[in-house]
Structure formats: structure tokens, C-alpha cells
Structure 1
Amino acid sequence: MAKEQTRTQVSRLPSTRESRPALIALAVVLIVGGALASGFLALQSGNRAFYVQVTSEVAQGAQITENDLGRVSLPEDFGSGIPADQVDDVVGQSATTRLLPGTVLTPEMVSDDVGIAAGQTQLTLSVDSSPFVQRLQPGAQLALNVGGGDAGRQAVAAELVSVGDASDGGLGSVSGNEIPIVVAIDLSCLNVVAQGIEDNAVTPALIGGDAGQRVPATCGS
């Protein structure tokens, strides 16, 4: 008789009425936990702010345009960045250093000054409006092949500051087959390159790596 009673107790399953409170308690825990998680995420998202970010490479000394800038969401305690609502104050300023895409701007990276590096000057060239020139990016290292004829040719190292548009009169009067570019060169090469511009005898070439070290950065003895 005792064995039969034990077998009956072991095989007995809880009724639906007995398991219902446990399911209700589990559901309450899940709902409360989900609400707390949602609230935490909402608080976290509320602790972020937008800052000015560079989207296009800008050479040192080049003027920053609206197209060079975007915005990025960062924790609001990221105190060194320039807030996105101050982007209008940045447009028109000059880069104090070379700016790469993805850089979060800080006040030290921009200046109201022209921003030309010490010992350098900037010149505007009118060159053939080729796909090569149109694809050049600010900061590109160039070799300017200057002169020709009996005087021979001279290579001068330069850094591209900006590429204009064939219809952009602000960088100089050019024909429909030419495009203006602004380059930075060493001040000692000013007379050489300026004479080449006057003679329409300046051709830019893109250089890189060790080849750039073989192009003279200065002119004269």
C-alpha cells in the first residue's frame, strides 16, 4: 500500500492552476526588465551631442569650406571638439595643420589667419582641365615642371592647396579648357614659378613616396 502511495506522489504533475502564478511572475519580471533596459538606453542616447567632423582632406593653410565638413555624434562630455552648431564659425577659416577625413575638429586646428606655413607662399596656376587634375585632393605632393626651351626645365616641389572650377572666376580668369589650382611652394621658388606662370610654362605632376624627396623644395644656391 505504501509503495502504491509513493508511486502516485512521484507521477503527480502540477495542475495548470498551480503553474499559472509562476508564469505570471516570470512575465512581470521580463516586462520590468525590458522597461529598465529601454530606459537605460534612452538615457545613454540622451548623453550624446554632435560635433564638427572633417569629411574631405584639407591642406595646411587652405580655407575650409562647408563641403569639407560634416558632423558626428559623440558623448557630450567630449569637451575638446567644436560643437556642430558652431560650424558656421569654422567655414572660411584656414587649417593650421593638414586635416584628414574623419578628424573631429578642435579649436587649435583652425585659425582666422591665412595659415601659410613659415617660409612658404601660395600661387594660383591655370592648368589643363584634365581628369587627372580634377581628381587631385588637397594636400597632394606635386612636382611643378617649370620652363622649357633654351632655359631648360626645372622641377619644384609644391603642395596642392585647392582645385577650383573652370567656371570659378574667383581663382583667376581661365578658359573653358583650363582649371585653376592653388599650390604652396617655398618662398625661394617664387620668382621661378611666377615667371613660369607668366610664360604659361608650368606643368604639375603628382609625386609620392621616395620620389618626392628627389624634387628640390627650394630654389637657387
Structure 2
Amino acid sequence: MRISETPARDSRNTVAAGAQGTLSGPASRKLPVPPRERRPALAAVAVLLILGGALATTLLVMRSGDRVSAIRISQQVGAGQAIPISAMEEVQIANTGIGYVAWVHRQQVTKTFAKVTLLPGTLLTEQMVVTASQELGPGKARVGLSLKAGQLPSGVKAGDRVQIIHVPGRAGDAEPEVLAQSALVDSVGAAGRSGSSGQVTVIVNSELSPTVAGYATIGEIAIAELPGAH
């Protein structure tokens, strides 16, 4: 009789191995993984935005090479004042699509008036000018003043707003009186030969012009600048 040399398997090891390889209960249950949602609409929008940005950049680069002649203001022009040719200069700018007034229209611009105060360096647009001025319309008058030192602040220029003040010349007279609260300086000339500090033309209401002119002839007019009042 042959005796088998195959060792007998330990039943305890077999049971332990089976216990390790097999899990039961909640631990053996895997959580379900939700399927990924595909959003083709969002992807399409993202692609369109990228293409739109690239197209806009390309157009700006292409247009930056196109130059046009425009009008740039070289000296201050007050609101309501006519725009003289001396206050304009030609400048080459990129054609960005903004409606700047072309240099070829400079003669037509001289027949218009500033709608707002135009400062040096301003690129002129059609919205900045009007064909009629409220400052030089009916009921207004231009009055010339020959002022001495102390009656005219330094640096006053056309387009500024000033107060016109009556300053009594004799001691004991009435206190200084403001005749015009915000008059527009129309022009400023050089100092006169009679020792005056400067020739200034202002625009006032027509009913006030005789009073201003009368006091000016006897040297009892002074003006005060109103910074920032345009």
C-alpha cells in the first residue's frame, strides 16, 4: 500500500485565507461614480469668446497702422467762444473709429463755437462745438478794459472766467462791489503804452456794459480770476 506523501492541508489556513480574500457587509459595496456631464454649449461659447478676442486684437493691430489727420487744440478756448485757426494744430493719430474732426475741416471749425472749455492738447470732436454761442448772442456785449498793475491777475487768458469788481478810487467811498459774477474773458492783449498792465476784453450782459465801461475809464475796475470755473 502506498502512502501519499502530499501533506494534508491545514483547514485553519484555508479558512483564514478565504476570510481575507472575501469581504462582506457595507465595506464590500462600492459607491456609485456619477457619469461625467458633457456641456457642449459652454465649450462652444468659450471657443467663440477666444475667437472674438483674437479678431478684435487683429483689427486693432491692423488699424493702428492707419493714420489720419485730426485737429488738436493748441490754446485754451472758453465755452461759448469762437474757435480761431490759431488755436488749432494738425496731428497724426491712429484711425480708431472715434469721430475726431479731420484737419481738412479746420476752416469750417472757425465758424463754430466751443460747447465746453477746450484745453490745450484736446483732440476735437463734433460734440465739442456748436454753431451758435450763448455767450455772444443777443443780450451780450464785449467790453474792452485797460487795466493797471494790481487790477489784473497774472496768467489770465482767453476762455477764463473772472469776476468784474468796482473798486472805488477815493477813501471813504463805498465798499468794492462785484458787477459781474462770472464774465468770460474773450481776449487778452499786451500791455499798453500808457503803463497799463494789459488789454482785456470781457463779455458781459448788455445792460451791464455801460457801467463796466464807465468805471473802467476812471481806473476803478479790477478783475479776479475764478480758477476751475469754465
Shift of 1:105: 1.5
Unpaired runs of at least 5, structure 2: 1-58
Measured after TM superposition, the shift of residue 152 of structure 1 is 4.2
- List aligned pairs for 1:209-220, cutoff 5 A: none
State the distance in 2 between where 1:165 and 1:181 align. 9
Which residue matches 1:207?
226
In the alignment, which of 180, 184, 189 is matched to residue 164 of structure 1? 189
Check 1:175–1:89 CA distance in 2 against 1; reply closer, same or farther (3 A cut): farther
Q: Which residue of 2 is the match for residue 185 of structure 1? A: 204
Query: 1:135 aligned to 133, 139, 155, which one?
Result: 155
State the distance in 2 between where 1:204 and 1:51 align: 36
Q: Aligned-pair distance for 1:154?
A: 0.9
TM-score of the superposed pair, with normalisation by structure 1: 0.57
**Which runs of structure 1 show a deviation greater than 4 angstroms over 4 or more consecutive aligned residues?**
40-46, 111-115, 117-120
Is the 1:96–1:115 Cα contact (8 Å) retained in structure 2? no
With over 3 angstroms needed to count, the CA separation of the structure-2 counterparts of 1:79 and 1:208, relative to structure 1, is closer
Write the distance in 2 (CA, Å) between the matches of 1:185 and 1:41.
48
Tell me which residue corresponds to 2:99: 80
Instruction: Please list every run of 5 or more consecutive structure 1 residues that lacks an aligned counterpart in the other structure.
Output: 1-39, 168-173, 213-221
Match of 1:102 among 121, 135, 141: 121
Larger radius of gyration: 2
Aligned residues between the structures: 165
| Mean Cα deviation higher: 188-197 or 112-121 | 112-121
Residue 79 (structure 1) shift: 5.2
State the partner residue of 1:61: 80
Distance 1:48 1:129 in 2: 48
Is 1:126 aligned to residue 146 of structure 2?
A: yes
Aligned-residue identity in percent: 23
Displacement of 1:202 in angstroms is: 0.6
Deviation at 1:163? 0.9
1:54–1:68 CA contact under 8 A, matched in 2: yes
**For 1:87, what is the secondary structure of its paired residue?**
helix
Q: CA RMSD in A?
A: 3.6
The whole-number CA distance in structure 2 between the counterparts of 1:111 and 1:159 is 17
Change (3 A) 1:151 1:198: farther
Of 165, 173, 185, the match for 1:145? 165
Contact persistence 2:153–2:225 (CA under 8 A): no
